[in-house]
Amino acid sequence: MDEMQRDFIIHEGYTAIEEIIKEVNQRGVFNEAVIYYGTPKPQLSFSDVELGYMLTSMMEYATNHVGNPVDEECEFENKLAYFEYKDVIVQIFEVYGQGTDSWFLKPSDETIDKLNNTAYGVYLNQFEDFINYTKNKDSESKQLSSNSAILNDITGGYTVERGSK
The predicted model scores a pTM of 0.83
Rounded to 5°, angle at Cα 49 from 45 and 54: 80
Pick the more confident residue, 100 or 127: 127
Cα–Cα distance measured from residue 48 to residue 54, given in angstroms and rounded to the nearest whole number: 10
| DSSP E strand boundaries for 10-76 | 29-30
Pick the more confident residue, 150 or 22: 22
Convert the pLDDT of each residue in 61-120 to its tens digit.
999 999 999 999 999 999 999 999 999 999 999 999 888 899 999 999 999 999 999 999
Cα–Cα distance measured from residue 143 to residue 102, given in angstroms and rounded to the nearest whole number: 32
